[in-house]
Amino acid sequence: MEKVLQLVRRGEGENVEFKEFLTPYHLREGRFRQLACQMNHRIIMGKGVAVYVVGVSDNGELKGIDDKKFSETLEVLKKLAEEIEAEITSVERYEVNGGYVGVVEVRKSKAKEHILVGTAGHVDHGKSTLVGCLITGKPDDGDGATRVYLDVLKHEIERGLSAEISFAVFGYKNGRVLRMKNPTSKTEKAMVVETADKLVSFVDTVGHEPWLRTTIRGLLGQKIDYGLLVVAANDGVMRTTKEHLGIMLAMDLPVIVAVTKADMVDDAKLNQVLEEVSATLKRVGRVPTVLKSKLDAKRVVEMLNTNKLLVPVIVTSAVTLEGYDILEEIFLQLPKRYTSDEDFLMYIDKIYRVTGVGTVVSGSVKSGELAEGEEVYIGPLQDGSFRKVRVQSIEMHHYRIDKAKPGDIIGVALKGARYDELRRGMVLSKKEPRAVWEFEAEVYVFTHPTLISAGYEPVMHVETISETVTFLDMDKEYLKSGDRGIVRMQFKYHPHFVYEGQKFIFREGRSKGMGEIVRVIR
């Protein structure tokens, strides 16, 4: 009953609707349509959840209704929910004045395809601008105005350089793009998530070399389906371009290349850069394919199912929007790559303390599904233990969902988790994991100026983990550029959850090599 009183005291909010009662009269076509639109609006404003308080007058007076009216009201609400592809998820009923008042929760949780695309490339090559133009359909002013939709930190906006991973959502409904006027609006993001039958989430990484570890975290720590490598036509292939391409290929990501800023160069320069891109891809065993139409995009996606070495290349301009129709078509056609029947697992990327909510952790779902109210393990804590916590709510792009699936980028509000105990790289898991200090891996050295021997301490990046490791023992006396070997490694500061088959990057200033965990020791 306290819940009803709180809702009444608060009055009608963005997702709260008071109804004394509903009858079969409300199922008449005109009125039914009006009420269905009202319910849909409440759900959108409530980030996926609408709350109906029944047996209460519009001014908040607790009237109470008899059992017949209560049942009829529920039946009408059920039909309204079905009309907008939602469902009633809970009903609470309380006795008042010889009758009943109730709180009815309505949710929308329609299954939809959701792919994740990670952007990468050299600084100032137009990654954020490209995504900003794509999700709004608006051309850029030639000075990167649309990147403000993704750069959120004050110094990012002032300097025009991204310094942190940002996320954007792009949607399709019946094959048509859903545009946003203002992608920074939480309500607009929620609207896209609610309305779309296919979602594309962009993980926009950082091109500035000092923040390379942030880019690596974005590409390794999220459940990325495809990599979008950006190369500016006025600059060409840079060292950072090659390094980012190497990371994508090391993680077995299919790659798409967008050549940006085509409006800034003549045909001769553009062709020169396309040749550079082609040569770079061929050197790593890939087959570049320049797309010139939406039909080309459809054909190359079909070919990708049998030829994983193909790399679509699209020439674009944020000023004229050249090539953007091809990008829209290719993202529409690309299928979800990752599915999983395994238990729920998510590596934590960010941790928040939210007033009125408590501790919230975010990341992308690696495997399995997670629903509100479920208990999961979080950890490992410093002593290697895991703690059981309860999922209070789940949001995806500021839209409330009741269940998350592999690849969804979500924020999870937790009960029983202390903000100051958590750190990036921990996991949420339905099965109690095992904390690991030591493991064995097969490594490949990209490049190193000296010989690597036991005692070497690079930074290892796996999922959202970024931790110094010590090379304890090797199957060779030393490793040099181009060598492969088996190495026993140990985390230096914290235990982590890792398992056999995981791939990682190790770096020391720049990326030095990659590896795969082959055996967990302790």
Higher pLDDT, 30 or 136: 136
pLDDT single digits (tens) 244-254 = 898 888 888 89
List the domains of the chain with CATH numbers: 2-107 (3.30.110.10), 113-333 (3.40.50.300), 345-429 (2.40.30.10), 438-520 (2.40.30.10)
What CA–CA distances, in Å, run from 480 to 203, 484, 485?
A: 33, 9, 10
Could you tell me the pTM of the whole model? 0.69
CB 189 within 8 A of CB 180: yes
- Note the pLDDT of residue 442: 96
pLDDT single digits (tens) 92-146 = 888 888 888 888 999 876 557 888 898 888 888 888 889 989 999 999 877 655 5
10 pLDDT band, cuts 50/70/90, is low
pLDDT single digits (tens) 211-233 = 455 556 656 656 788 999 999 99
DSSP label at residue 496: B
Rounded Cα distance, 170 and 113, in Å: 12
CB 269 within 8 A of CB 315: no
Please state, rounded to an integer, the average pLDDT across all residues of the chain.
85
Average pLDDT for residues 285-292, to the nearest whole number?
Answer: 95
Structure tokens at 239: 């060292």
CB 408 within 8 A of CB 462: no
- Note the pLDDT of residue 2: 62
Tell me the DSSP string of 189-235.
HHHHHHH-SEEEEEEE---SGGGHHHHHHHHHHS--SEEEEEEETTT
What is the distance, to the nearest Å, from the Cα of residue 366 to the centroid of all Cα atoms in its chain?
Answer: 11
Average pLDDT for residues 317-341, to the nearest whole number?
Answer: 88
Residue listed under structure tokens 């940006």: 260
> Which of 88-97, 186-195, 352-361 is least confident?
186-195
Tell me the DSSP string of 84-144.
TT-EEEEEEEEEETTEEEEEEEEE-----EEEEEEEEESTTSSHHHHHHHHHH-PPP-SS-
pLDDT single digits (tens) 455-469 = 999 999 999 999 999
Residue 479 makes CB contacts below 8 A (sequence gap 6+) with 443, 445, 448, 451, 452, 453, 485, 487
298: left (phi > 0), else alpha (psi -120 to 50), else beta? alpha
Length of the chain: 522
Rounded Cα distance, 309 and 288, in Å: 8
